[in-house]
A and B are shown apart, each in its own frame.
Chain A
Amino acid sequence: NAGVTQTPKFQVLKTGQSMTLQCAQDMNHEYMSWYRQDPGMGLRLIHYSVGAGITDQGEVPNGYNVSRSTTEDFPLRLLSAAPSQTSVYFCASTGQGFYGYTFGSGTRLTVV
């Protein structure tokens, strides 16, 4: 099925560990983004990409890295996990017309 696929669905990390959250879309969308969702804070933009090789920072980029080597994939890297990064992470994509962003099912991350 066409859409946005995120892996893993759940992850527990220890403080200081690093990991990569995977995001892939098969709709040939140019625009991809990462959001985090926290109770009472809504969805906040971490990083985004407007095409392969182009990335930029969103509202809350500290502690995260991204790269976009292909149109399909947009991984999010946590460099040194902190308890403040405990959250649910969503990847989203859209095409040129911005008709509607498609979201993945999320990764629930706990940092202990």
Chain B
Amino acid sequence: EDQVTQSPEALRLQEGESSSLNCSYTVSGLRGLFWYRQDPGKGPEFLFTLYSAGEEKEKERLKATLTKKESFLHITAPKPEDSATYLCAVLYNAGNMLTFGGGTRLMVKP
């Protein structure tokens, strides 16, 4: 069965404590892996798209990487304003719409 699984479900960090969020996928014909940030009461906000294994993208304190089985979102020296739910999603085979994982809720304490 095609699946997208994110771990952990929740992560508490101290400000400045770097960590990584995981998104593993079991789909065939991956065409793109997407990372989104979602704040409470708002819609998902696009962060990155990764298209092939080995690709990396960075934005401020965030860095996304992709292998053939999973993607990591590395957060370096996080700040309280990085607190949010981070979602990953995949586009695969001939499909045109995203399949989402369950998300990781990140809480960064000052």
Report the stretch among A12-20, A64-72, A79-87, A98-106 that lies at the interface.
A98-106
In the complex, the answer to whether B44 meets A103 with C-beta atoms within 8 Å is yes
The CA-CA distance from A52 to B40 in the complex, in Å, is 32
Q: Give the size range of A's interface with the partner.
A: 20 to 34
B59 at the interface (CB under 8 A from A): no
In the complex, the answer to whether B42 meets A100 with C-beta atoms within 8 Å is no
The CA-CA distance from A43 to B89 in the complex, in Å, is 10
Complex contacts, A74 vs chain B, CB 8 Å: none
Complex contacts, A45 vs chain B, CB 8 Å: 97-99
Report the stretch among B63-71, B74-82, B100-108 that lies at the interface.
B100-108
B86 at the interface (CB under 8 A from A): no
Q: Shortest distance in angstroms between A84's beta carbon and chain B's nearest beta carbon? A: 19
Complex contacts, A4 vs chain B, CB 8 Å: 43
Complex contacts, A35 vs chain B, CB 8 Å: 100
Residue from A58, A104, A106 within 8 A of B97 (CB atoms)? A58
In the complex, the answer to whether A100 meets B96 with C-beta atoms within 8 Å is no
In the complex, the answer to whether B34 meets A101 with C-beta atoms within 8 Å is yes
Which A residue sits closest to B6, measured CB to CB?
Answer: A42
A contact residues vs B (CB 8 Å cutoff): 4, 31, 33, 35, 40-45, 48, 50, 58, 90, 92, 98-106
